[in-house]
Structure 1
Amino acid sequence: MSITVRHAASTAVITIDRPDKLNALDYTTIDELSAWLDNASADDSIRSVVLTGSGDRAFSAGADISCLAQSIDAGTAHALQDIVARGQGLTRRIEQFSKPVIAAVNGLAYGGGCEIVEATHLAVAADHASFAKPEISLGFPPPFGGSQRLPRHIGRKRALEMILTGDAVDAQRAHEMGLINHVVPASDLLATALELAVRIERHAPTAVHACLAAVTRGINLPIDEGLAVEAAWFATTVPTAGVRRGLDRFLSRSDMTSQ
């Protein structure tokens, strides 16, 4: 197995476990991550996911270059299927996952590793982490969705500087650009990610899912279409127990305050 999974209460902690390869994403690892997400989406005991890498050197150094080279040598059709379809499939699964996925970036996140961070809903980084888009040095653009997500997250010019130079940025710069939410000491990384998960899990699962889906689906739409997406997801929550409990809690507090 190229990944390990443990449970911290209702949070699943997934670790990319190839430390000798800086947690590079070979095809087996990508397929295992994708399959686990498919299964976990229907597991009600899992409320959130923290995704990290083994060791303290790398979250993921990106795609395993030996796999890429073999597929590219086999021709364009193989490369598109093996690399692009597989990599974009994984990042799409993460981005569209019905429960929050939080990246705990424990070292360098390069190439496909950075693209996974872009796809996660939230990200916390150790203060020694770094981020880079070095695909251009291999002669091709980011193939796991990074040429599309990164500009949407941090702006066109900042994204193009990373994509066109291949230069790394440190965790503080990644935070300033909006690629990650928090920078913490490495010793606090997992605890911070898990605490963030708990702060989300206190809310109704139906509400969390609706918020994730509304933002993910609507963020790239014109505002009127996005508002329609928001309305549709709001409508899904109206008859839920989560709304009833939330309203009852609020109204009971209001009644006590007014007395």
Structure 2
Amino acid sequence: MSLTVAADKDTGVAVVTLDRPERLNAIDLTMRDELVAVWRELRFDDTVRAVVLTGAGERAFCTGLDRDAVVPQPSSPYMTDDPLLRVGPKANDLWKPVVAAVRGMACGGAFYLLGEADFVIADPTATFFDPHTTYGMVSTYESMLMALRMPYGEVARMALMGSAERVSARRAHEIGLISEVTEPGGALDAAVGCATVVAGYPAEAVQGTVRALWAAKEAALAQAFAQAPHLIALGNLPGERQAELFAARRSGEYRVR
């Protein structure tokens, strides 16, 4: 298992942990399938009224799709398959509140999860960045989700600067990506504390509020997502060239703002 789920029946809070710290909690196809299964199982578990999503280890919340994942693609540019498109709670019709607790890196495909969390709490070590352009890939779904959480200029800067720049927890708080920066090591406890409060309220009212908030932006998101496959087909470099750029990357050459 690459996920762990710990549910507290007394508080009504389940903690879902991405548990591949040796791979910086990158999502392979097994973890993707496990996430889909967990979100759908939680729809039917009435003892769970709020969820906390976090990553194992100190280095990363999640670093997106595992580079070793083999994702077959149709030959037609009109049928691009994105392996992470259904990885989040909202995509699986889960309307229980999800609070994300971030420690370390959150980048690229992590934004599918953060984009569908209801709010995000971060440790001071948290950093956020989107490396797609660096490696010859179009940032589509990730940027579209972040555009609903951050000012346009901030999303554009993060997407276009690629791996050369990372957004600090402090800056992420200033621009509204995260709602709180905790003391070092405190993000998970703070997220569980918030989730426990929310889980104590009437479930119907809480879930209705989550659904209402998502309804306010899902029409725009659906229209944007409809354009994504064509943009990816037009703008992505061939896989071999992407791999070359990824292999040539130089770790440590970035600034944090």
Q: Which TM-score band applies after superposition, normalised by the shorter structure? A: 0.7 to 0.9
Q: For the structure 1 residues 77 and 29, does the alpha-carbon distance in structure 2 shift closer, same or farther, using more than 3 Å as the test?
A: farther
1:140-179 aligned at under 5 Å gives the runs: 140-142=137-139, 145-166=141-162, 167-179=165-177
Q: Residues 192-226 of structure 1, C-alpha deviation per residue, up to 9 Å, x if partnerless?
A: 0111012212221000011011110123569xxxx
Greater percentage in helix: 1
| Aligned residue runs from structure 1 range 5-84, under 5 A | 5-8=5-8, 9-67=11-69, 70-71=70-71, 80-81=80-81, 84=82
- The match for 2:112 among 110, 115, 136 is 115
Q: Which amino acid aligns with 1:4?
A: T
Is this contact kept in 1: 2:73–2:80, CA < 8 A?
no
Once residues 42 and 27 of structure 1 are traced to their aligned partners in structure 2, the CA distance between those partners, rounded to angstroms, is 24
Q: Quick one: structure 1 residues 46 and 78, their matched pair in 2 at CA, closer, same or farther if it must change by over 3 Å?
A: farther
Given that residues 111 and 145 in structure 2 are in contact (C-alpha distance below 8 angstroms), is that contact kept between their aligned partners in structure 1?
Answer: no
After TM superposition, give the deviation of residue 117 of structure 1 in Å: 1.2
Gaps spanning 5+ residues in structure 1: where? 223-259
Hey, what does 2:242 align to over in structure 1?
Answer: none
Gaps of 5+ in 2: 221-257
Secondary structure of residue in 1 paired with 2:27? coil
Identical-residue share of aligned pairs (%): 31
| CA shift digits 1:161-198 (9 cap, x unpaired) | 10111121011111111111111123322210111012
Shift of residue 92, structure 1, vs aligned partner = 5.9
TM-score relative to the length of structure 2: 0.77
Deviations 1:135-168 (A, max 9, x none): 111211235x212111121122111110111121
Letter of the 1:125 partner, please give it.
A
Task: Quote the Cα distance in structure 2 between the aligned partners of 1:61 and 1:79.
Answer: 25
Q: Which has the higher contact order (CA 8 A, sep 6+)?
A: 2
Are 1:185 and 2:183 matched, yes or no?
A: yes
Root-mean-square deviation over aligned CA pairs: 2.3
1:95–1:71 CA distance, 2 compared to 1 (3 A): closer
> What is the one-letter code of the residue matched to 2:209?
C
Q: Structure 1 residues 66, 75: CA separation in 2 closer, same or farther (over 3 Å shift)?
A: farther
Q: What is the aligned counterpart of 1:207 among 193, 205, 208?
A: 205
3-state SS of paired residue (1:50): strand
Structure 1: how far apart are the matches of 2:127 and 2:204? 34
- SS at the partner of 1:88? coil
Q: How far apart, in 2, do the equivalents of 1:51 and 1:11 lie? A: 11
Task: Name the CA distance, whole Å, in 2 between partners of 1:201 and 1:171.
Answer: 26
Structure with greater Cα Rg: 1
Question: Closer, same or farther in 2 for the Cα pair 1:90/1:133, shift >3 Å?
Answer: same
TM-score (norm 1): 0.77
CA distance in 1, matches of 2:78, 2:181: 39
In the alignment, structure 1 residue 97 sits paired with structure 2 residue 87: no
Other structure's SS at 1:49 match? strand
Q: Hey, what's the Cα distance between the residues in 1 that align with 2:139 and 2:89?
A: 14
Task: State the aligned residue count.
Answer: 216
Please give the alpha-carbon distance, in whole angstroms, between the structure 2 residues aligned to 1:97 and 1:108. 25
Once residues 77 and 18 of structure 1 are traced to their aligned partners in structure 2, the CA distance between those partners, rounded to angstroms, is: 32
Partner letter of residue 142 of structure 2? G
2:130 alignment partner, one of 127, 130, 133: 133
Question: Match for 1:22: what amino acid?
Answer: L
